[in-house]
């Protein structure tokens, strides 16, 4: 059986960490979180984390989430008294 290679695309959210660098989350892959000292390192670490996440799903014979090409991103403003 011939194996096929696909390029999957996932949205990564990079947020500055208090101690420096960036924390990266992948919304379509629950619990997939990593970090990097620089923006470039954080992107590389995210790619590695996604590959690892998918390899575990494959080993467990679970479905690999495919992110929709169409989504809407927005900010939600929530008034909070502090």
Residue of 40, 79, 62, 22 whose CA lies nearest to 54: 62
CB-neighbour burial class of residue 14 (10 A; exposed 0-12, middle 13-18, buried 19+): middle
pLDDT in tens, 17-59: 999 999 999 999 999 999 999 999 999 999 999 999 999 999 9
Task: Provide the pLDDT for residue 35.
Answer: 97
Please compute the mean of the pLDDT values over residues 57-74 and round it to a whole number.
90
| Confidence at residue 23, expressed as pLDDT on a 0 to 100 scale | 97
Domain boundaries, the chain: 13-59
Q: What is the pTM of this model?
A: 0.83
Whether residue 47 contacts residue 29, with contact meaning beta carbons closer than 8 Å, is answered with: no
Burial (CB count <10 Å: 0-12, 13-18, 19+), residue 3: exposed
42 burial (CB, 10 Å; 0-12 / 13-18 / 19+) is buried
User: Who contacts 9 (Cβ-Cβ below 8 Å, separation ≥6)?
Assistant: 67, 69
């Amino acid at each position: 059986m011939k194996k096929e290679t696909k390029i999957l695309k996932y949205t990564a959210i990079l947020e500055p960490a208090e101690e420096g660098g960036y924390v990266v989350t992948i919304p379509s892959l629950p619990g997939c979180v990593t970090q990097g000292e620089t923006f470039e390192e954080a992107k590389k670490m995210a790619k590695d984390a996604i590959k690892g996440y998918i390899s575990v799903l494959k080993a467990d014979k679970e479905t690999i989430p495919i992110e929709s090409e169409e989504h809407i991103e927005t900010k939600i403003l929530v008034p909070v008294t502090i």
